[in-house]
Amino acid sequence: MMEVDWAPETPNIQRHQLYQSPSPAQSIPSELISYILQFLTHPHDMLQSALTCRAWTFNALEALWWKPQFRSTAHWLAFCQILGEPRAWSYPYSTFVRRINVSSLSTNVNDHQLMLLNQCDRIERITLIGCTSLTDTGLLGLLSNKVGHYVTSVDLSDITTITNATIFKIAATCPNLQGLNLSMCREDQQRCTGVTDQSICRLAEACPQLRRIKLNNCDALTEKSALALAHHCPRLLEIDCPVNDQVLAEVWSHLRELREYRLAQHEPVTDAAFHPFYVSVPSDMDDHYRRLVAQRLRPPLEAKDGYFDQLRMLDLSNAAFISDEAVRVIVHAAPKIRNLVLNKCKEITDEGVLSICRLGRFLHYLHLGHCELLTDHSIIKLAHACTRIRYIDLAQCSNLTNDAVVALATLPRLKRIGLVKCFNISDTGIDAFSQNPRMASSLERVHLSYCVKLSEASIRRLLNFCYRLNHLSLTHVPAFLRPELLDFRRPPPKTFSQQQRNVFCVYSGHGVKDLRVYLNKTSTQPSQPPPSPPQRRPFQLPANVMDARARPPALDLPQTADGSPFRLPFFYLAPANPNDPPVQLAPHLLDRQVRPNVTLPMEVDPPNNAMAQDILWPDVFNVDLTPLPRPAPVDLEEDVLDEQLME
Task: Find the helix or strand (DSSP H, E) in which 232 lies.
Answer: helix 223-232
More confident residue, 497 or 93: 497
What is the structure's pLDDT at 282? 43
Q: 474: pLDDT confidence band, cut at 50, 70 and 90? A: very high
Report whether 362 contacts 335 (CB < 8 A): yes
pLDDT confidence of residue 87: 66
Distance from C-alpha of 97 to C-alpha of 123, rounded to nearest angstrom: 6
Q: Cβ-count burial of 601 within 10 angstroms (0-12 exposed, 13-18 middle, 19+ buried)?
A: exposed
CA distance 289 to 348: 16
Q: Contact at 8 Å (CB) between 337 and 311? A: yes
* Residue 327's pLDDT band (cuts 50, 70, 90): very high
In this prediction, residue 201 carries a pLDDT of 95
pLDDT of res. 307: 78
Residues of the chain with CATH 1.20.1280.50: 27-66
Q: How confident is the model at residue 567 (pLDDT cuts 50, 70, 90)?
A: very low
Which amino acid would we find at residue 626?
A: T
Mean predicted confidence (pLDDT) in 228-236: 94
Is the pLDDT at 556 greater than 80? The verdict is no
**Is residue 373 within 8 Å of 346, Cβ to Cβ?**
yes
Q: What is the pLDDT of residue 577?
A: 52
- Closest by CA to 382, choosing from 371, 392, 372, is 392
Range list for CATH 3.80.10.10 in the chain: 67-243
Q: Could you tell me which residue, 634 or 342, shows the higher pLDDT? A: 342
Give yes or no for a contact between 114 and 137, defined as CB atoms under 8 angstroms apart: no
d(CA 115, CA 304): 48
* Percent of the chain with pLDDT strictly greater than 70: 71
* Distance, CA of 339 to chain centre: 10
pLDDT (tens digit, 9 = 90+) per residue, 120-132?
Answer: 888 999 999 989 8
Residue 175 — pLDDT band, cuts 50, 70, 90? Answer: very high
Dihedral of CA atoms 279, 284, 288, 289 in degrees, nearest 10, equals: 0
pLDDT at 596: 38
| Each residue's pLDDT tens digit, 403-447 | 999 999 999 999 999 999 999 999 999 999 998 888 889 999 999
Angle at 285 between CA 279 and CA 287, to 5 degrees: 150
Residue 21's pLDDT is 53
Pairwise pLDDT comparison (1 vs 461), residue with the higher score: 461
Return the CATH fold of 67-243. Answer: 3.80.10
Whole-angstrom Cα distance, residue 85 to residue 455?
69
Q: Is 430 within 8 Å of 462 (Cβ atoms)? A: yes
pLDDT in tens, 511-550: 999 999 999 998 776 555 555 555 544 444 444 444 433 4
Residue 288 pLDDT exceeds 80: no
The pLDDT value recorded for residue 266 is 65
Most confidently predicted of 44-48, 217-221, 289-293, 559-563: 217-221
Q: Which of 514, 393, 379 is nearest to 446 (CA)?
A: 393
pLDDT at 640 over 60: no
Interacting residues of 222 by C-beta distance below 8 A, sequence separation 6+ = 197, 242, 266
Q: What is the pLDDT of residues 575-615, one digit of tens each?
A: 445 555 544 444 443 333 333 333 333 333 444 433 333 33
Task: Select the CATH number that applies to the domain covering 27-66 from these four: 1.20.1280.50, 3.40.50.10890, 3.30.300.30, 3.30.70.260.
Answer: 1.20.1280.50
